[in-house]
Chains A and B, each alone.
Chain A
């Protein structure tokens, strides 16, 4: 960290570029009469009138509902099956190529298949998000658990810690940094699938709003949807980092000590 730079100096270095970029967009688009590239002032006004205080709030709510439900399921399934595969060595060995296949399968290809199986409603989106986003969690859980110190596990066993608690307080804890990495990757996958599933076949959600605005030549509306998506991505990421720092602070603390040695 820079000792030569004051706090205000540091804040200024971080802020000038975003401010310049936003200002450049604002000024260059101010007099725009292009249908496709409306003035930024109009886009921001639309974000406010449509999303913050207007009819699109319902789309935002249903998108978030798909995302949160699907992602929560993905986390549970991923950690659950990851732990199960970790404890059953032979099953893990026998299924590993297929788990890997599902992991690298580009998940959006499943959207049409999910449509034929689950229709166009809520369940299709949730199943799709949950299915696609569980693999990074599962593989990272498995991998993190395989890295558990056997000595710690034996110690817990020798001390008579019951199996359920052993898994919770030794295995899960040791694997949690890697599980967190998996959860973060899954979040991105979940957001992509949320939008794609709403886009291709839906009557609600942000994806639907964007494609609908585009088809009715409401490009200001389309841009406002894009801004909202960008905000969701950023906020989700910030929330994730904050939660991770809170929950895993012991890990980063330990790593910092190790690094100092």
Chain B
């Protein structure tokens, strides 16, 4: 019975894919969409195949991942450190939360010209932008997480004489972890978007630039452009997937995580507490 249900589910999904690709190819073949505007499915698939075997694609993916990863790491570490400090002190929290909210609402693209002036068209420019984009939403989540510390856990720690870095590691951080995870999940996606924007309009090397170069090269390169777009999408799926798996593994002990496994995807983007 369950096998049949699974067959129906995956069969119908496959059917949708085949139908969509068939429709695409049919419209191109019938001349309803002209190849000068939108390449045919087979041409795009061929371009994707060619790209997969070429070093250029993997270099571009590597460059994109470098900006994404380094920015996420720096922004994430800074947000956890500063967010903890701010969250632990009521005066610091009340003083800075308004400023943090303000910076969070600034569209990151607004910062791009400043990053270009400071770092030029470099990897550091990309990293700086991703760091900025990741830091503000995450630092808020960390503040909330640290402030949500269960009073019982806090008092127990105090009674047992657990203080300082040890308290941070065994009490504060675990209790803030689900909040941090929610923030990180959003950050993983935001970081990729910002990284690609930095490439697309800032000119930093990576997938974004490749797509723009292919577009500028004219219709003969459109299949390659769409191949790169597909790759960017796959990258998005993979990064989100890896993060979801890591989160489930690391936070399986947390009750919110267990309840969450029913609907892991979109609901996740909802910011916790505000």
Contacts and interface: CB of A to CB of B under 8 A. Distances in A.
The answer to whether A and B interact is yes
Interface of A: 2, 10, 13-18, 21, 36, 90, 93-98, 100-113, 115-117, 136, 139-140, 142-143, 146, 178, 181-182, 185, 188-189, 191-192, 195-196, 199-200, 207, 210-211, 214, 219, 222, 225-226, 229-230, 232-234, 236-237
Contact of A90 (B12, B193, B240): B12
In terms of DSSP, what is the predominant structure of the interface of chain B?
A: helix
Given A108-B193, A108-B208, A143-B266, A10 B215 contact: no
Contact of A93 (B12, B108, B109, B232): B12
Interface in B247-274: 263, 265-267, 269-271
B220 interface: no
Nearest to A181: B270
Contacts of A237: 105
A106 B109 CA distance: 14
A116 B222 contact: yes
Contacts of B13: 93-97
Contacts of B235: 106
Contacts of A111: 200
Interface stretch (B46-54, B111-119, B141-149, B163-171): B111-119
Interface residues of B, number: 61
Contacts, number: 173
B98 interface: yes
Contact of B263 (A97, A146, A191): A146
Given A94-B9, A103-B265, 16 more contacts: A2-B90, A13-B95, A93-B12, A98-B16, A104-B233, A104-B237, A106-B192, A116-B38, A139-B266, A140-B270, A192-B197, A226-B111, A229-B107, A229-B109, A234-B106, A237-B105
B113 A115 contact: no
Contacts of B267: 140, 143, 178
B215 A113 contact: yes
A211 B109 CA distance: 11
Given A94-B13, A210-B113, A101 B38 contact: no
Contacts of A113: 211, 215, 225-226, 229
A116 B12 CA distance: 32
B107 A188 contact: yes
Nearest to B12: A94
Interface string B225-242: 110110011011100100
A41 B222 CA distance: 47
B24 to A, nearest CB: 13
In terms of DSSP, what is the predominant structure of the interface of chain A?
A: helix
Contact of B113 (A101, A117, A222, A232): A222
A104 B95 contact: no
A180 B47 CA distance: 40
Contacts of A21: 99
Interface string B90-126: 1100111111001001111111011011000000000
Contacts of B201: 196, 199-200, 211
Nearest to B226: A113
Interface string B213-228: 0110001001001101
Residue among B91, B99, B219, B267 with max Cβ neighbours from chain A (10 Å): B267
A17 to B, nearest CB: 5
A106 B215 contact: no
A236 B105 CA distance: 9
A17 B109 contact: no
Nearest to B222: A116
Contacts of A110: 229
A69 B233 CA distance: 26
Residue among A10, A103, A112, A230 with max Cβ neighbours from chain B (10 Å): A112
Interface in B155-196: 189, 192-193, 196
Contacts of A236: 105
Contact of A18 (B98, B263, B266): B98
18 contacts: A13-B95, A16-B95, A18-B98, A103-B265, A105-B233, A106-B232, A111-B200, A113-B215, A113-B226, A116-B38, A116-B219, A140-B269, A143-B266, A182-B266, A191-B107, A195-B107, A207-B109, A226-B114
